[in-house]
Amino acid sequence: MADSLEAAARERQSVPGRDRAEAFRAAAIHSRRVRRLRTLIIVGCALAAAGLLVRAFYDPFSKVPGNLALASATLNGTRVTMERPKLNGYRRDGRPYDVRATSGVQDIRQPNIIELNDLEAKFETASRTVVRVAARRGVYDSGKDSIHMMDDIRVVNAQSYDIRMKDATVDFKNGDIVSREPVSVVMTSATITANALTVIDNGDQIVFEGDVRSQFHPSKDGEPAGETKP
């Protein structure tokens, strides 16, 4: 009888110890599960980010303007350097336009913007003459279908005028050219300077603004331009 009582007493004393051990084991299992879950979340986020980077690096042209063609391209970070890019499209009157450059740069974070170097654009006027626009630098916006040109800009209609500008925007849809910087226009019979200029109607009309000055050139036979002999 005494032995039974002692055994029961020892069993009662050991129960709290077993409970604590089981609690520690449960807590350890829970901690391991939390760590595994945290690791899975971190790995999942890393894989998602890596997937985006892989897509950006290996498919940088997924959102490139559809009217763009180029000889070759290299990727440096998020910037794509293009060799001999070419852009083309149609204006509202259905006449085509064409833009070529020696090189271009596009940031894949802004796929509609392309920086162009040594570029030349050409389009046809309503009178069937060709207007050529050249510049050292330009920024093409496919969303607006326009180019902001900078540095040594020249607009030439071989039959009518030769325009020199420092800064201008070409809207290909309308065929308009706008400059808010000083311009110089050389025509067959005159040279005109102004503080601003707008070329409209696909190059058939030129509007001068601000401090407009003109100098008329004599004709080849020595008579003032525009005059005829009796």
For CA atoms 174, 130, 120, 149, the dihedral sign is negative
Q: What residue segments make up the domains of the chain, in order of their start?
A: 1-59, 68-216
Round to whole Å and give the CA distance between 26 and 24: 5
Least confidently predicted of 131-140, 161-170, 202-211? 202-211
Round to whole Å and give the CA distance between 117 and 49: 33
Which CATH architecture does the domain made up of 68-216 adopt?
Answer: Sandwich (2.60)
Q: Which residue has the tokens 């607009």?
A: 155
The model's confidence at residue 160, banded by pLDDT at 50, 70 and 90, is confident
| Structure-token pair, residue 159 | 């039959």
What is the pLDDT of the chain when averaged over all its residues? 75
| Structure-token pair, residue 51 | 């997937």
Burial of 63 (0-12, 13-18, 19+ CB in 10 A): middle
Nearest 10 degrees: Cα torsion 116, 117, 120, 123: 10
- Per-residue pLDDT tens for 86-113? 888 887 778 888 899 999 998 888 888 9
